[in-house]
Amino acid sequence: MIANNTAEKINQYEQEQQRPFGLRDKIAYLFGDFGNDFSFLFVSSFLLVFCTKVLGINGGVVGTIFMLSKFIDAFTDVGMGRIVDTAKPTKAGKYRPWILRMSFPIAISNALMWMYFIKDWSMTAKIAYIAVTYIVWGSFCYTGINIPYGSMASVISPEAKDRASLSTFRTMGALCAGLAINMIAPMFLYATDKLGNQVVVAERFTIVGIVFSILGLICHLLCYSLSTERVKVDISEKQANAPKQSFFGLMKSLVKNKALVSLILSTTLVLVASTMTTALRSYLFIDYFRNAKAMMLATLVNTAAMAGSSIFASKLAQKYGKKEVGCVGLALATVTLIALYFMRVTNITTYYALMFVNGIGFGIYSMYSWAYLTDVCDYQEMKNGKRDDATVYAIYSFFRKVGQALATGLGGFVLALIGYQSVATVQTAEVINRVYDVNILIPGLIYLAVLLVMLFTFPLNKKVVDEVTLKLKARRENAQ
């Protein structure tokens, strides 16, 4: 009877008598993002290049495939969130088993996308192959592992400070993956012809794709084996048998959360900028700087800047607030990109220097990206009296995928719009200048828009976050 009167015992948990939260859990969570990005970042950075330069598919066609598949992916995110929410926990926990279950499918589906021998197929067959493998990888396999992974932070520890440290290690995992992928991959994927032009080596895409798939599998297995779920969520029989809320019902229930809506808008814009830039960065170095291997050092510079920002970002946030410090970082990133556009640099060292400053600014904002979501979950609990972490994460992930869909598709469309010829070894001077423009100016303007959204619509400044924390603490103490 008590169970029938209790929808969900979220605030009641038991600590497993194994070991306390510690470095092992942080490393496990880092490996989880590392494993995800061995496919996600590699796809984001090089699949457009593979499709246009190896397979000879028009950039606009590739953009259409990416966009349509990403919209499918966005809806499967919400579906996966509902599946995980309603599934009965096992001895291994509620979320960890999905990481084990999906680790092999995502590795296999990622490797299949990079088969160079299909370049000799008909254009229709090549387009169909890329469309099918990309949808299977992104809409099902990647979604199947990313949603449980992202939700798992809430059950590894009930402590806010522990969850904040998991967010930091997740960001560091992404940085490590970016460093490994964007430094190592160009060394193997590109070669220099007799005229000094950067050309792709088709068969190496397959080799690197398989190697990264294996490394991603290892990382996911480490994430599973090293992590522990400590928070136990008991679902009552009444809730388990209750009618499932529709997708649009979920949207309606969350749209009143101003903090969530603002964060979704800002995150969508950031993903449009970062995903499109990732897709087009190779063209900047191949065609504008004519030095594909310089991309490795650019990645190192950017990673060093973002990693360096993590040293003082946490202390600044504790003193001034995450929103306040994050906006300063966004302003710095915006100014450097606008400066790069008007300077139109041709000296790679100058480019590195300004992008280092840009990396510090954007790194400060990025370090808080997942912590913002935690604050939003607290804000949702304060308003509704219910902890909906998985639902909030699923809706948030949905719009992240929409942003990625817009950006990935936009990358291909932009290439077609500026007149980029995929089969040409050398582009015209006009097209080369346009490649520079779209890599620098578009993200700069988007960062400016994100800054305005965060400044004027995101309500969770330091004062509000502190008030929410105190109210929730008092509410939980009174409930005991």
Domain borders along the chain are 18-234+252-479
Please tell me the predicted confidence (pLDDT) of residue 178.
Answer: 82
Please tell me the predicted confidence (pLDDT) of residue 102.
Answer: 97
Q: Look at residue 18 and tell me whether its pLDDT is greater than 70.
A: no
Contacts with 441 (C-beta within 8 Å, 6 or more apart), sequence order: 337, 338, 341
- Rounded CA gap, 89 and 234, in Å? 9
C-alpha neighbours within 13 Å on the C-beta side of residue 117:
2
Q: Give residue-wise pLDDT tens across range 354-411.
A: 999 999 999 889 888 877 887 887 787 787 776 666 677 777 877 777 777 666 667 7
DSSP state, residue 117: G
Distances from the Cα of 199 to the Cα of 31, 124, 165, 423, 467, angstroms: 33, 24, 42, 11, 57
User: In this predicted structure, which of 129-143, 160-174, 286-300, 413-427 has the lowest mean pLDDT?
Assistant: 160-174
> Does 299 or 461 have the greater pLDDT score?
461
Contact 45, 282 (CB under 8 A): yes
Q: Look at residue 62 and tell me whether its pLDDT is greater than 80.
A: yes
Q: Look at residue 5 and tell me whether its pLDDT is greater than 50.
A: no
Q: Which of 164, 138, 163 is nearest to 152 (CA)?
A: 163
User: In this predicted structure, which of 70-79, 187-196, 397-406 has the lowest mean pLDDT?
Assistant: 397-406
Q: How would residue 432 be classed by pLDDT, with cut points 50, 70 and 90?
A: very high
Instruction: State the chain's mean pLDDT as an integer.
Output: 84
Please tell me the predicted confidence (pLDDT) of residue 15.
Answer: 43
Helix segments in 190-201, DSSP class H? none
Looking at domain 18-234+252-479, which of 1.10.10.10, 3.20.20.20, 3.40.50.2300, 1.20.1250.20 is its CATH number?
A: 1.20.1250.20
| 474 three-class SS | helix
> Does 444 or 171 have the greater pLDDT score?
444
φ, ψ of residue 191 to 5 degrees: the values are -140, 165
Is the pTM higher than 0.85? The answer reads no
Neighbours of 239 (CB within 10 A): 15
Q: Look at residue 266 and tell me whether its pLDDT is greater than 70.
A: yes
Q: Give residue-wise pLDDT tens across range 103-120.
A: 999 999 999 999 999 999
Q: Residue 198 is which amino acid?
A: Q
Q: Look at residue 467 and tell me whether its pLDDT is greater than 50.
A: yes
> Does 75 or 350 have the greater pLDDT score?
350
Q: Look at residue 60 and tell me whether its pLDDT is greater than 60.
A: yes
